[in-house]
Amino acid sequence: MLRRRRPMLTGFLLTLALVEVGLPLILFVLRDRMVFLPSRRPTAQEGLGYLRGRADVGLVWVPRRDGRLLAAYDAQPITAGDSGDPVVLFLHGNGGNIAGRAPILEEFVAGTGLRTLMVDYSGYGDNAGAPSEAEAHLDALAAFEWLVAEGVAPGRIVIYGESLGAAIALGVAAERECAAVVVQSGFASLSSMAFEIYPWLPLTGLLSQGSFPSSRRAARLEVPLLITHGTEDRVIPFSQGEKLFAAAGEGAEFLPIAGAGHNDFFAVAGSDYLAMLGRKSRAWTATSMTDR
């Protein structure tokens, strides 16, 4: 009996070792495919057909430094604001593309009263290339630089990051002057998320260390930071927003949205949230321009 048990135990331990080491390695190799979930359709042009006339939304092409072009929506409120009003750079989450978010963008602009640029990442929608952490960072920087080239002072730009876009937003703010950063439904770091999703595969979190280091970037941020998160988020748990806030520097704000999940955030947060965001953005911009 003892002799039989030893081979069984050895086999079990080998299987466990293969799972604990092999599976995390596979997840690491496939990381970009798991993190980025782009859609090719609808196209950016088709997305304009979903609009209801609550904002003036145009399709523009943002050049990267390597010459590739990125599809983006440049959305303006119907009622023109002040020339010194803030401009929002909206960096969306990991799934779909900007066309599928066109109605959300329209409501965002109508609710905040702010011009907003929403850019698609490499490999999303009409864009060439393949998405990755490095490529998405370059895409977001290109969108920021496009706004500056259009005559928008960096001190007037509020960077808004949704979900994965929150990590990308903090990456841009780490390298570019801006008025403020808003992090919606973000995570503390990719490794923190990995430990949360795969607690039984600790090597997955260890292999992800250093990727999308939002907490570290939030701690070093020198401009206003608003962190907002739905209390019922089942994709990126509310605890991730709390961890990010705990790591953020002095002066950061945390705004829980009661009852909001991950994909219904704006529907639950409602018009009051957007109006508040518009007021805060104007206040941040006024402070930023005064400090210059």
Measured CA to CA, the distance from residue 282 to residue 148 in angstroms comes to: 18
Q: Which of these is catalytic: 163, 214, 281, 288?
A: 163
Q: Rounded to 10 degrees, what is the CA torsion of 139, 87, 187, 233? A: -120
CA nearest to 170, candidates 138, 210, 136, 217:
217
Cβ-count burial 26-49 (b if 16+ within 10 Å, e if not): ebbeebeeebbebeeebebeebee
CA nearest to 59, candidates 77, 82, 75:
75
Measured CA to CA, the distance from residue 112 to residue 280 in angstroms comes to: 10
Q: Which of these is catalytic: 126, 137, 262, 288?
A: 262
Q: Are strands 180-184 and 225-230 parallel, antiparallel or unpaired?
A: parallel
Q: Which of these is catalytic: 85, 122, 233, 281?
A: 233
163 assigned to active site = yes
92 assigned to active site = no
Q: Which residues are catalytic?
A: 163, 233, 262
